[in-house]
Structure 1
Amino acid sequence: MQLIHAPASPFARKVRVMAHETGLLSRMQLLDTAVLPTSLNAQVNALNPLGKVPVLLTDNGEALFDSRVICEYLDSLHDKPPLYPVDAPARWRSLRLAAVADGLLDAALLVRYERAVRPTEQQWDAWVDGQTGKIQRALLTLEAQAGDLQGTLDIAQITVACALGYLDFRFAELDWRSAAPALAAFHAVFATRDSMRLTAPV
């Protein structure tokens, strides 16, 4: 398998953490690429019409995207306990938490692009404020449900940890821990896992 990814991408990090945790990393060749919304990457665009990473090329040459699809595919390839719970209500609880964390990342990336890519004179403060509000509401939701991030490793824990790690990487000024002590406690432990340490963006 080949994973086309950008090392700083939190969605690509989620896939790499999943590969570590499932023992599949040794089967995966990592191909680094830079993808920005203002530039075209012919290889990525040919594989994913949305022009986004990560993209996984399976052993039979099929291109899979986005990170949610790739992670579920990886979960089908190993013989360890599944990281996507099978039975309700645990499955829906896990998928809902993962969706909140994915949405937090969507908003964070939009703010990042607005501030780092768009020319200063074209930046829209109201847009940034709206996306930042999504981040803050997502954090409050995850904080209220932090108890559901305990127990057996699952996709919710991985996605939430990668989302919080991205805030540390790109949005340290948000100081998310001050309003989310339970999330902070979860992240302090989860971030020590080998899969998180070895995929930390620099």
Structure 2
Amino acid sequence: MKLFYAKASPFVRKVLVVAHELGLADRIELLPTAAHPINRDAGIVAQNPLGQVPTLLLDDGTVLADSRVICEYLDHLGQGGFFPAPGPARWAALTAQTIGDGLLDAALLCVYETRVRQETERSPAWVSGQREKIADALGRIEAAAPEFGERVDIATITYGCGLGYLDLRLPDLGWRERAPAAAQWFARFGDRPSMQATRPE
């Protein structure tokens, strides 16, 4: 398998954490990219018209796009059980994943607004709106964190990658002060070998 990859991407990290947890990381060749929202990487676009990372190329030529699809494929391949079978537990896990991904989307949009757009094109109201989404998603994680324990599933992996990305790109948010229960959980979860192996520098 080959993965179009950018080390700072939290969505790539989510895929790699799943791969490490399942013992599949050594089966994935990482293809470094220049993924960018404006100057799109033609190498990715040739396989995925959205030009986004992560994009996974299977050995039979199949292309899988989007971290949600790739993570579920890897979970199936490694028989990990990170995605519950159809039923209430599955819908709850997928909803939690969506909330975590939404936090990441909002954080990425904040980064793009300040790093990609010219200063005269930036919208403080836009950034404020995205930060509100982050705060609200963080509130949901904070409420759920006391029940996480040592759980490792698609919900906790997504949340862990989300909180790690806030540390990397939006440290001024001070999320730990807003979410002490989540911070206490993340201190343990972030020490997992899978999280340490995928930590962006």
Cα distance between partner residues in 2 of 1:151 and 1:97: 16
Please tell me the residue identity of whatever aligns with 1:93.
A
Equivalent positions of 1:10-49 (< 5 A) are 10-49=10-49
Gaps of 5+ in 2: none
Equivalent positions of 1:159-170 (< 5 A) are 159-170=158-169
**Equivalent residue for 1:194?**
193
132-141 or 149-158: bigger deviation? 149-158
Cα distance between partner residues in 1 of 2:72 and 2:156: 14
Cα distance between partner residues in 1 of 2:87 and 2:62: 30
TM-score, normalised to structure 2's length?
0.96
Deviations 1:3-52 (A, max 9, x none): 11100000000000010001111111011112111102111111111111
Cα distance between partner residues in 1 of 2:99 and 2:115: 24
TM-score, normalised to structure 1's length?
0.96
Q: Contact 2:3/2:54 (CA < 8 Å) preserved in 1?
A: yes
Equivalent positions of 1:51-90 (< 5 A) are 51-79=51-79, 81-86=80-85, 88-90=87-89
Q: Contact 1:4/1:54 (CA < 8 Å) preserved in 2?
A: yes
Deviations 1:125-164 (A, max 9, x none): 1111111110001001111122343344211110000000
Cα distance between partner residues in 2 of 1:64 and 1:96: 21
Please, what is the CA RMSD of the aligned residues?
1.1
140-149 or 15-24: bigger deviation? 140-149
Q: Contact 1:4/1:33 (CA < 8 Å) preserved in 2?
A: yes
Deviations 1:77-99 (A, max 9, x none): 114x4111225322222211111
**Equivalent residue for 1:144?**
143
Q: Contact 1:4/1:31 (CA < 8 Å) preserved in 2?
A: yes
Gaps of 5+ in 1: none
Runs of 4+ deviating beyond 6 Å:
none
Deviations 1:52-79 (A, max 9, x none): 1100001111110100000000011114
Cα distance between partner residues in 1 of 2:163 and 2:126: 22
Alignment length, in residue pairs? 201
Q: Contact 1:149/1:156 (CA < 8 Å) preserved in 2?
A: no
Cα distance between partner residues in 1 of 2:113 and 2:138: 21
Cα distance between partner residues in 2 of 1:67 and 1:114: 22
Please tell me the residue identity of whatever aligns with 1:28.
I
Cα distance between partner residues in 1 of 2:39 and 2:148: 37
139-148 or 10-19: bigger deviation? 139-148
